[in-house]
Each structure stands twice: as structure tokens, then as C-alpha cells.
Amino acid sequence: MKKRYFILFIISILLFYSCDKITPPYVEGGNGGGTNDSVNYVKKVLVEDFTAHLCNNCPRAHKTLEELKELYGDKIVAIGIHVGDLAAPLTQNYFGEDFRTTVGNDLDNYFSASNAGLPVGMVNRKKVNDNFLQSYSEWGSSINEILQEPQWLNIVTSTSFDTTSRKLNVTATVYVINTFQADSGLKLCFYLTEDSLIGWQKDADNESGEDVSNYVHRHVLRAALNGTWGETISLNTNIVGYSTSINVNNFEVSTDYNENHCYIVTFVYNVSTLEILQADETPILH
Amino acid sequence: MKKLKNRLKIFFPVFLLPVFVLAQKGQLHGNFQTDVYYYNKDTLIGAGQPPQKIGFMGYANFIYEYQNFTAGLRYEAYLLTPEGYDKRYNGTGIPYKFLQYQTDLYKVVVGSFYEQFGSGLILRSYEDKTLGIDNSYDGILVHINPAKGLLLKGLIGKQRFFWSEGPGIVRGADAELNLSEYIKLLQKTGLNISIGGSAVSKYEDDKDPLYKLPKNVLATSGRTTVSYKNIIFQSEYAYKINDPSADNNFIYQDGQALKFSTTYTRKGFGVILQAQSLYNMSFRSSRNANLNNLAINYIPALSKNHSYALTAMYPYVSQPNGETGFEADIFYKIPKKTKIGGKYGTSVSVNFSRISSIKKLPVADTINIGQAGTLGYNADLFSIGKELYYQDFSLEIYRKISHHLKMNLEYQNLIYNYNVLRGKKGHPTVFANVGVADITYKINSNNTIKTQLQSLFTCQDYGNWAMALFQYTLKRKWFIAIMDQYNYGNEIPEKRIHYYNLSLGYTAGATRIQMGYGKQREGIMCVGGVCRVVPAMSGLTLSISSSF
Amino acid sequence: MKKYLTLSLLVFLSFGIYAQNIPSLELKTIDGKTINTDTLNKIGKPVILDFWATWCVPCIKELSAISDNYDDWKDDADFEVIAVSIDDSRSSSRVAPFVRGRGWEFTVLLDPNQEFKRAMNVVNVPHTFLLDKNGKVVWQHTSYTDGDEDHLFEMIQKLNKGEKIKE
């Protein structure tokens, strides 16, 4: 009687015994860019990376985001939002840059990012397990899942920039690709980002010391052209092909920003869930 | 309305009857605790006031036993979570509920349960409200006792994650055999041998596009305890296959841990030597979890658990990514009625522990140590790396001087690697010397006074501290205490603050009510090597607890 | 309506009147032997069941006080002391040398995952239970002040005489 239990137990242990030993290479082959997109619209996902120059673990998130961009190509639109006490400048020659913005602070206050601990981010502001915020190691699987959903909207953005007056005009046309419900309506945001800003960054993984003085800051959020939360657009989401246009005129781009590295990130989101339906990125200079 | 009342008159006693009958036959007991905080803003010490001004945490446990059957549940309410605890606890609910059936041969639990295999190196699920940790399982647990001295365990479940569950499924099995209870020959010689082994596997789906992540991660361990007369020898070894996670920066190296201890005791004397080495042994049921969430295993800190405020100011936090440590303890009671021992004898204890990083060697010239998406590094158990994490020497003397007066003295010398143990950078290693005098004077059977004087000397961090505590206990039920921690050695004069605290309390039976007012410095609170950062606080605290 | 509420409250409270038995759990002693806690129901004399830890100063004071009086008390009364250490695996190996080094002679059990502590609904240590000779909990107390041990001894003597304990 007792012997039987013992044998049963051993068998059940063997059934539990399972493991996946992975042999190199550890990195996936990837299916980024260059696939058979015979139509000229592409589903694009917005990744917002809350970061700061004094945050020594943030470079890990930056590296992950760059790897994902390499994998997915233009399917990812990325923004780095510098927030919190760790983004405050120290002295003029040592961590002197200040990449904080009104729009960044608004987003930080609403989503409680710096409270949760940097680095942290959002993918299409879509809630996972009831949370907007996700650690950088989770962004890849979220992007993967979202890209398997249908493309709801397409956004085509056009910009015209006058280098003398530094005035910028932006127009975006939004098309319905697949129908969906948005009972409280949709809003559209125009964010201005600047890429390749050289400055200081603390990097815990840097072999020669934590303080890096010539770090390349990517896609830094600089301003919101039409408010942190954007403007309402009227779109009949039940009709495929329905489109609407919205524009912002005479936005003055600060002389501190290098227009050659500036981009407009456009995205449309569902007002009731805050979830972003489509994103787009266009340089201000062509 | 009258019809309803009449109906109630009939139904109510009928409803109560089976409940009353069951109550006669079974037994119901439980406990509860509530902590209420009122926060004052104090910018000088860094204490904030949340918008709701009041932090509240409360829970109640109920357990009902009837013959072989046990049922229990716990209700928890965080309205809103007190400062320093994770805000994801906000809300109320019943996160812990179980049914259990037990006979001499087996025990089965369905619902929520806690469990530990061996010393917890590959599986330990427990809860500690002061730390805010609860990694209970929701699933099924089975214990089988097929023969004397043989205990088999099996479990499967998902772990608690605030008000929901982690993504991973954990499956585990453990067997422990006490050979001496099984083999009569061993019993005669006085040699006691027991061996045990466990296997724990977790399943978590891989949707990550960047890495090929293992969906099933297996950890195994073996342990043995041998005791003969006054000597005990214990050891445990654990091995975990590749488990890339946020904790280890997604490296593919295996994990290993080895700990052993030797103890010799006789009446009035005890000595224990322990050694522990491990690397890459963080094991969670979610690859992306951090802080104290969803841990499957438990790495104990190989250092003394200090009991006084200033000796516990710089505690060691276990480093699952790699550490090698040694610890030694000697306990001796100088016999009573001797010159040194005094009338009642004197207890002396000495503790020494030293923990360093483990030596990590690169896998290849082109790969940095710890680089994501690679093997990471190579390491050998018990190799000693360049960084000293912690060294602690303490001497404790306890003496009952007379029928009225008892005294406990402690001296501590400490080396504390602030950067590694607090997860920050730019702080120098702390070298500190601490002295404690804890004196209790019993005036008579109804009145006792306790005095505690503590002093910490250091040139780093906040500098020197001094602490004084006076507590008066009346009728062994009421107490009033006044305490002050003074940071007189702070480099910044404005920060030389008195953290004073006044508290009142009442204890009767298993009920304790305590109220305190004052300031509390920011610090770190650890149980076993698992820690929680405690923010600075100024305000009122009320705590009520009881068991029934 | 009020009558029924009172009645149900009384029924609920009556649960408390029925004294608690000790649940059945397998724990190890510091000698490495395995003991089932339901044997505490069958000891046949009053038991002091004391939950403590090596890092808990008042717990050590209480057990030291009991140990100092142990021999004298054993001469005058019939009882057992079972001290349950809730030290987890960080300090559970230190319990044996600690206890022996202090010269404590009573039985010490190890509860490294606090199973027994949870099953007995202990909130904080020190927490002491007094069991009568049938293993029923007749008294329990949390925290320790000098002199509590004398009160404990009085109650043991009462139990030996067959008297009942009031809080």
C-alpha cells in the first residue's frame, strides 16, 4: 500500500521534471523591416521611455529600445521622456543639461512614472495587467502582441519648416483602415522630439566608470504642439476609408533645437481608455 | 413588512442552528492587526504628507478547525497603503483563503498556502506584513508521510502579486528522509542522518521578440544533516538552469548555491561556523518582476540579525547575483557563583561575519561581464571577488546583576558597502563602531524601568548618532516610553536633528494597543536579508493587534 | 430585529468560549528529531508554549527568566516548557548553539517558515500560551515585562490543583 504511493510519487516527480536549456544564439532571428508589405500603410506602435540622465539603470532600457527599433524598423516610434528629480541638472559643466518639459512633467504626474522608479515605459499607453507602466524587459512582448492586432488607423503627416523664421506648420490626415468603436471619441497629439543630443548620462554598465560625458540621447521629447493631451478629431470609425485632417500652424521651434534632428511624432488615442491606436514620425526638414 | 418579519423569525433560528452546532464541534480562532498613520510634512527630515494624510493597513485571519478539516481566510485592507509600502496594495479583499484535510498519512491544501523546501534556497513562500512581502501560492499542496521518517511534498500554483497573480506557474516536489528513524542500527549508535532533495520548475510563456527565453526553468537542490552527540553538520546545494530575467540582465548562465555549517554544543557552550556561496540564484515566477515581488526562493543573509536600532542601522541584504560569505558564532555562559560570572552567571556571545562578491570571469574577450543576451560570465563557488560587501563583528554580554537589575551590553564593529547594499552609487563604504547598553530595573512586581543608551560612531554617511530610550511599565500592562535618536555628527549643521518619539501602550492578554508620536528617520528595515526602505516620517502612529 | 442581531452576535462570540486545541504540524527540535505538534495535546501536564526568536530581546529576557527559575519551579510544580523559535533559515542554525550556550534546558522547536506561528494566530513575538493538561489553550499573552514569569508560575500551580484560569 505504502510502496505504491512511493512509486506514484517518483513518477509524478519525473512528470514535473521539465526544463528548457537554450543553446546559443540566444537572440531571435527577428522579422523586422522589409517584409512583404504590398500596401503602403504600416501599423506603428508608440513606445514612451521615461528616463533621466542621473538614472544609472536607464541605459539598459535605451539599449533594449534600440534593439527593438532595429528589429521592427519603422513599426516603432520611440520617445524618451526625461522626468523627475534624476533629470534635474547638477552644475553647468557636470550633468548640466535639462531635458525636462511641461508635457513630460504632465505625463509623469498622470502616469506616476518617476514614483514607480526609472527606467519605466509605456507601449501604446495600453494597460497590461491593469498597469500603464511596464519595465523595459516587457516592452518587446507587448509590441509583439500589439503588432498582431489589425491596423485601425493610418496617419500621414506633412511638415513645412521655415529656417529663417523658425516657424513650423504641421498637417496630419487620419484614415480609418479597420472599423472599431470609440464611444468617447478620439484625440490627436503632435509631439516634437529631437534626436542625437550629446550630453551626460550615468551608466551602471559602463566599464570605465559610471559618468559618461558624451552620451547620445535619442528621441528626446521637447514639446507638445497642441497640448499634452492633444485635440479632438472627428472621425467616423465605423466607415473604412473615412478620413479627417488636422493642422497646427506657426509653431515656433526654439533656436536651442537642431532642426536637422527634429521630428514630429503624431499619434491618435481613444479618449476613454487612453490607448494609442496609431503613431507616425516625420522629420521637420525634408 | 410584517410578513418579512415573520419569515425572519422562522428562518433565522433555522439558519443559526447548523452554524451553532458546527461551532460546538469545531473551533474558530484568529487574529487581527491594524496600523494607522497620520502624516505631518517635515521637509527637513524628508518626510512627506500624502494627499489622503492618513495611511491605513489592517488585516484579520480566521481559522476554523473541525476534526481533520481546516478552513481559513485572511481579509486585508489598505486604505490607503502607508508610506514606504508598495502602492499597488491599495484596496481591500480576501487574498488568502484555503481548505485543508489532514490525516496521519497525508495532508492536502487547496487554495492559498505557504511552503518551504529545506532552507528555502529554491523554494520559500512566506509572508511578513512589516516588510510588505507575501508570495503565497494559489493552487494545491500535498504532504505524504508513507513511512516513519519519510516526508514527501508536492505543490503546484501561481504566486500572489498584490491583488492578482504572477504570470508564472510553479511546480515543486520535495522529499526528506531521516535515515535514523528508518534504520534501527543508526538509532543505537546515536548517529542521526537525514537527507533531502527538491525539484522546482516554473513555466512562463515567451513572447519576447528579442531573446529566445526558456519557458520552463528548473531548479534542483539536495541537502543533508548529520548529527552525532554534540556535533551537527548541515549542508545544502542548489542548481538552477538558465533563467534570463530583469534581475540578472538577461544572461544565460546557470545558477548555483552551496551552504554548509558545523555546530558543536554542550551545556553552557555553543559554537557554529557557517559558509555560503552562490551566484545567479534569483528565481522568480515572472522574469520582469523586481523588488520583493514574486520571488520563488529565499537567499538568507549570512549575518547576525541585530536587535537594536543603531546596530541594525546598516543591515546586510543578500545578493542573489553573487556572494561568498563566512560567519562564526560563539555562545558561552560563564557559570554562576564564580568571580567573573557573578551570582547568576553571565552570558557572552561573539559573532563575526564577512561577505564578499564572487569572482566573475568574462566568457569571451568581446563580451562584457553581465552583458545581456549572452552567457554573462563564468564563476566558481567560493571564489572571492574584489569587492567586500560586509563585515560585522559583535560582542554581547548579558548579566543579571541582582533580583532587580539586568543588563545587556553590546559592541559592534562594522564595514558596510553602501553602494552595493543600498543599490545606489557614489556613497563611500561605511566604517562604524556601535555601543549599546540596555538596562532593566524592576522596582517591584508592578513597576519596571528600562533604559537604553546607544551610540554609533562613523565618519561616513550621516555621521555619528546617539540614542536614548526610557520606558516605564506599570502593572505589567501599561507602558510609556520616550526615545530620541540624535544625529549630532552630521556634516550639515541643519541636519543635526533630534528624532524624538513618545509612545504609550497597553497590553492585556494577547491584545496590544500602542500609540506613538514623533519623528522617524529614513532607514531600511530587513527581515532575513529581504529589506524594505522605510521613508522618513513625522506624525502619529496607532497600532492595535490581538489574537483570539 | 435587534433581538436577532444580538442572538447572532452571542452565537459568534460563543465560538470564543470553546478553548483551542493545538493543530497538527511536523516540526524539528534543535536535536534534529521530528515532533508532531499534536503531541502537545497529550503531554498530560500544563505546558508553557512560548514563541520567540534569537533576534527578539524581550523574548530572550522572558526565556532567561523562566530558565533562571526552572529548577526551583520544577521542584514545586508539574509542567513543561516548549519554546518555539520562529527564526527563519538565516538564523535557525544558530538556535541550537544559542540555546545550549545559555544553558536553557527546555525543549526548543524550530518553525523556520512560521507555519506553527500562523496556525496559532501569533501576531508578534514574544507570544506565550498556557495549555492545561489536556492540551487546551487556557491563557495567552503577548510582549514581556519583568515579573510576567511569576504570574505564569502562579497559573501553573493553579492548574496543578485543578483550578480554572481567568485572564
From chain B, the residues in CB contact with A56 under 8 A are 425
**Cα of A65 vs its chain's centroid, Å:** 9
- Chain B CB contacts of C9 under 8 Å are none
Q: Which of B17-21, B48-52, B81-85, B514-518 has the lowest mean pLDDT?
A: B17-21
Q: What is the pLDDT of residue B1?
A: 58
CB contact (8 A) between residue C88 and residue B151: no
Angstrom distance (rounded) from CA A124 to CA B286: 22
| A256 — pLDDT class (breaks 50, 70, 90) | very high
Q: Check whether B83 has a pLDDT greater than 60.
A: yes
Amino acid A86 reads L
Q: What is the domain range of residue A212?
A: 40-283
Chain B residues in contact with C64 (beta carbon < 8 A) = 347, 398, 400
Q: Cβ of B373 under 8 Å from any chain A Cβ?
A: yes
> B178 vs chain C: nearest CA distance in angstroms?
9
**A39 interfacial to chain B (CB closer than 8 Å):** no
Mean per-residue pLDDT for C93-106?
94
Rounded to an integer, the average pLDDT of B486-514 is 93
Interface present between A and C (3 or more CB pairs within 8 Å): no
Residue A13 has pLDDT above 60, yes or no: no
Average pLDDT over every residue of B283-310: 92
pLDDT at residue B23 is higher than 70: no
- Whole-number pLDDT of residue B291: 84
Q: What is the Cα–Cα distance from B171 to B154, expressed in whole angstroms?
A: 8
Q: Which H helix or E strand runs over B500?
A: strand B498-508
Residues of B in contact with A203 (CB under 8 A): none
CB contact under 8 A, B214 and A2: no
3-class DSSP state for residue A32?
coil
Which pLDDT tens digit goes with each residue over B322-378? 999 999 999 999 998 888 888 888 999 999 999 999 999 999 988 888 888 899 999
CA separation for the pair B376, B251 (Å, rounded): 5
Whether residue A3 has pLDDT greater than 80: no
- Could you tell me if residue A5 is inside a domain? no
Could you tell me if residue A54 is inside a domain?
Answer: yes
Res B344: pLDDT: 87
Sequence-distant (≥ 6) Cβ neighbours of residue B394 within 8 angstroms: B304, B306, B311, B350, B351, B352, B410, B411, B412, B413
Instruction: Identify whether the C-beta of residue A192 lies closer than 8 Å to the C-beta of residue A264.
Output: yes
Q: Which residues contact B358 (CB under 8 A, 6 or more apart)?
A: B277, B278, B279, B322, B323, B324, B379, B380, B381, B383, B384, B385
**Total CB pairs under 8 A between chain B and C:** 206
Give the range among B175-179, B421-425, C134-138 with minimum mean pLDDT: B421-425
Which of A17, A31, A141 minimises the CB distance to B208?
A141
Q: How many CB atoms lie within 10 A of CB A245?
A: 11
User: CA dist B448 to A62, A153, B505, Å?
Assistant: 61, 76, 14
| Distance from C-alpha of B304 to C-alpha of C55, rounded to nearest angstrom | 9
A27 lies in some domain: no
Which residues of chain A neighbour B217 with C-beta distances below 8 Å? 19-20
**Looking at A80-94, A244-258, B8-22, B239-253, which range is the least confident one?**
B8-22
Chain segment A56-85, per-residue pLDDT in tens = 899 999 999 999 999 999 999 999 999 998
* Whether the Cβ atoms of residue B25 and residue B66 lie closer than 8 Å to each other: yes
What confidence category does residue B207 fall into, taking pLDDT thresholds of 50, 70 and 90?
confident
Residues of A in contact with B372 (CB under 8 A): 60, 63-64
Res. C6 pLDDT band, cuts 50 70 90: very low
Record: contact A207-B368, CB cut-off 8 A: yes
pLDDT of the residue at B114 = 97
**What is this structure's pTM?**
0.86
- pLDDT tops 80 at residue C66: yes
The architecture CATH gives domain C20-160 = 3-Layer(aba) Sandwich (3.40)
Phi first, then psi, for residue C155 (nearest 5°) are: -65, -35
> Model confidence at C11, in pLDDT bands (50, 70, 90)?
very low
- Cβ–Cβ of A26/B212 closer than 8 Å? yes
List the chains bordering chain A where 3 or more Cβ pairs fall under 8 Å: B
pLDDT per residue as tens digits for the range B438-456: 999 999 888 999 999 999 9
DSSP per position, B209-257: SSB---SEEEEEEEEEEEEETTEEEEEEEEEE-----GGGTS----EEE
Contact present, B321 and B297 (Cβ < 8 Å): no
Chain C closest CA to B468's CA: distance in Å?
17
> Which ipTM value was assigned to this complex?
0.91
Confidence of residue A41 (pLDDT cuts 50, 70, 90): confident
B145 → chain A, closest CA residue: A2
Residues with Cβ within 8 Å of B538's Cβ and at least 6 positions away in sequence, in order, are: B39, B40, B41, B42, B45, B47, B518, B519, B520
pLDDT reported for residue B21 = 54
- Considering chain A, what percentage of its residues have pLDDT values greater than 70? 88
Residue A37 scores a pLDDT above 60: no
pLDDT digits (tens, 9 = 90+) for B27-58: 999 999 999 999 999 988 888 898 999 999 99
- Residue C164 has what pLDDT? 79
The share of chain A scoring above pLDDT 90, in percent, equals 73
Distance between CA atoms of B417 and B431, rounded to whole angstroms?
9
CB of B173 within 8 Å of a chain A CB? The answer is yes
Instruction: Bin B265: left if φ > 0, else alpha if -120 < ψ < 50, else beta.
Output: beta
Share of chain B above pLDDT 70, in %: 95
Residue C17 burial (CB < 10 Å; 0-12/13-18/19+)? Answer: exposed
Angle at B403 between CA B400 and CA B405, to 5 degrees: 55
Measure CB to CB from residue B425 to each of A18, A140, A210 and give the nearest one: A210
**What is the pLDDT confidence band of residue B480, given thresholds at 50, 70 and 90?**
very high
Mutation site, C12, C94, C155, C165, interface B, largest B CB count within 10 A: C94
* Calpha distance A149→A143 (Å, rounded): 10
Measured CA to CA, the distance from residue B334 to residue B78 in angstroms comes to 49
- CA nearest B172 in A: which residue? A16
For residues B75 and B91, is the Cβ–Cβ distance under 8 A? no
Q: Please give the pLDDT value at position A32.
A: 30
DSSP B352-383: EEEEEPPPEE-SSTTS-TT-TTS---EE-TT-
Q: Is the pLDDT of residue B385 over 70?
A: yes
**B109/A23: higher pLDDT:** B109
Q: Where are the alpha helices (DSSP H) in A126-171?
A: 136-147
Least confident of B1-15, B302-316, B504-518: B1-15
**Can you give the pLDDT at residue A31?**
30
Whole-number average pLDDT of chain B? 91
Rounded-to-5 percentages of helix, strand, coil across chain A: 25, 35, 40
CA distance A172 to chain B (A): 31
Identify the CA nearest to B357 among candidates B408, B321, B393.
Answer: B321
Question: Which residue among B264, B266, B512 sits closest to C142, beta carbon to beta carbon?
Answer: B512
B325: its cell numbers: 560569505
Per-residue pLDDT band for B301 (boundaries 50, 70, 90) equals very high
Task: Tell me the three cell numbers of residue B323.
Answer: 556572494
Indicate which of B307, B408, B451 best probes the interface with C, i.e. most C CBs within 10 Å of its own CB.
B307
* Helix-helix angle B2-25:C2-17, to 10 degrees: 0
Do B173 and B153 form a contact (C-beta atoms < 8 A)? yes
* Residue C152 in grid coordinates: 505564569
Nearest CB neighbour to B287, from listed A2, A12, A137: A137
3-state SS assignment for residue B321: coil
Chains B and A touch (3+ CB pairs under 8 A): yes
Q: Is the predicted pLDDT of residue A7 greater than 70, yes or no? A: no
Percent of chain C exceeding pLDDT 90 equals 63
Cα dihedral sign for B450, C58, B62, B73? positive
Q: Tell me which residue of B301, B392, B401, B276 sits closest to B347, measured CA to CA.
A: B401
Which residues of B fall within a CB distance of 8 Å from A95? none
CATH of the domain at A173: 2.60.40.10
C-alpha cell of residue A11: 513518477
For B254, the closest chain A residue by CA position comes to A21
Question: Does residue A159 contact residue A281 with C-beta atoms inside 8 Å?
Answer: no
Mean pLDDT for the stretch of residues B107-130: 95
Which class for A34: exposed (0-12), middle (13-18), buried (19 or more C-beta within 10 A)?
A: exposed
pLDDT in tens, C16-57: 444 678 888 999 999 888 889 988 888 889 999 999 999 999
Record the cell numbers describing residue A126, joined without a space. 495600453
Neighbours of B290 (CB within 10 A): 15
Cβ contact, residue pair C99, B24, below 8 Å? no
Strand stretches in chain C, DSSP E: 26-29, 34-36, 47-52, 80-85, 107-110, 127-131, 137-142
Average pLDDT, chain C: 86
Query: What is the average per-residue pLDDT within B376-388?
Result: 95
B425 pLDDT exceeds 80?
no
Q: Considering only residues A99 and C34, tell me which one the structure prediction assigns the higher pLDDT.
A: A99
Give the separation between CA B262 and CA B248, rounded to whole angstroms. Answer: 32
pLDDT tens, position by position, B507-521: 998 999 999 999 998
Residues B41 and B216: their CA atoms lie apart, in Å, by 48
Q: Work out the minimum CA distance from C89 to partner chain B, whole angstroms.
A: 5
- pLDDT of B11 reads 54
- Residue of B208, B424, B425 to mutate when probing chain A, most A C-beta within 10 A: B208
**Phi/psi of residue B129, each to 5°?**
-65, -30
C56: contact with B, CB 8 A cutoff? yes
CB B195 within 8 A of CB B176: yes
Q: Which pLDDT belongs to residue B188? A: 80
Which range is least confidently modeled, A202-216, B260-274, C98-112? A202-216
Please report the pLDDT score of residue C40 as a whole number: 86
Which residues have CB under 8 Å from C35's CB, separation 6+? C26, C27, C28, C29, C109
Domain count, chain A: 1
Side chain identity, residue A26: Y
